[in-house]
Structure 1
Amino acid sequence: MSGPPSHSTEEARERQILIRAMQRLPRRYRDFFVLHRFAEMPLELIAEHLGIETRVVETRLAAALVRLSRAVDDANGGEASEGS
């Protein structure tokens, strides 16, 4: 028997959920998330690049993470939702 197909299927499903959630993020949040997580830019460099304070980058990145977390929770039937 080969490896468990359900594991790879579940990973693909989760990846698609995350991609859809990222695409639905408002641009003001998505850009910060992508620069930090995928371009691996430090917060300070993002702030410098965009001409804003690091605190703004932190705030928007945190908001992006909250929105993504909620979107993933909703897609999974609200399994880990809090106080909604």
Structure 2
Amino acid sequence: MSRGHAVRAGDGAISRDRHGPASDTLQKYLRAVRGFFIKRVQASEVDDMVQTVALRIQSRGEASSAIENPERYIFQVARSVMIDQHRKNVSRQAARHETLEEWHHPVDEMSPDRIVESADALQHVMNALHCLPTRTRQAFVLHRFEHLSYGDIAAEMGISISAVEKHIMRAIRKLSVALDDE
């Protein structure tokens, strides 16, 4: 016996045979299960849940070779799948999820005008960077482009951390002024 259902060999039984009367019976009931789910769950979950019902029935093996009341059994499996899905949605807080739409990821058009403007802006920044004193430029590049800490920069340049801070602050001020003049 399985889940309180009497199991017997008989004509109305569900079997693992994928082709034949039992398979037709399963398909008939799965269409009804689809209708059952459509009334109770989100449309996006229906196909997966019907497939899960079919998979659970098929995976029962020899135990599902003969079920006295296939309709009741299939709908009991469907209710079980629905409850499992609800528990999964609650534990994953599915109601709080947002779907990603196209407008969440705006496409940044790379028009020829924009490419030219960006290249000009980059050239302006590079010119401003080359106008900095050598030690100031070196400290700034090591920090902003090489991502070194002030301590590492100080060790590499042979100066104090305080001197590194002053070089970087000087670079930021001069670059800000140069870029504002643009």
TM-score range, shorter chain: 0.7 to 0.9
What do the CA deviations read for 1:41-74 (whole angstroms, capped 9, x no partner)? 1111011222322111011101001101111111
Question: Which residue of 2 is the match for residue 24 of structure 1?
Answer: 131
Query: What root-mean-square deviation, in Å, do the aligned CA atoms of Structure 1 and Structure 2 show?
Result: 1.6
Q: Secondary structure at the match of 1:33?
A: helix
Q: Deviations over 1:5-39 (max 9, x none)?
A: 22111111110000111111111211111111222
Take 1:3 and 1:11, find their aligned partners in 2: how far apart are those partners?
10
Q: What count of residue pairs does the alignment treat as equivalent? A: 74
Is 1:73 aligned to 2:150, yes or no?
no
Distance in 1, Cα, partners of 2:159 & 2:127:
28
Of Structure 1 and Structure 2, the greater helix share is in: 1
* Residue in 1 that maps onto 2:157: 50
Report percent identity of matched pairs.
Answer: 36
Indicate the structure whose relative CO is greater, using CA pairs within 8 Å and at least 6 residues apart: 1
Letter in 2 for 1:64: A
Following the alignment from structure 2 to structure 1, what is the Cα–Cα distance between the partners of residues 150 and 141?
Answer: 12
* Structure 1 segments (4+ residues) deviating >6 Å: none
Number of the residue aligned with 1:80: none
Q: Which runs of 5+ in 2 are unaligned?
A: 1-108
Scaled by the length of structure 2, the TM-score of the pair is 0.38
Q: Which runs of 5+ in 1 are unaligned?
A: 77-84
The Cα of 1:3 is off from its aligned counterpart by 4.1
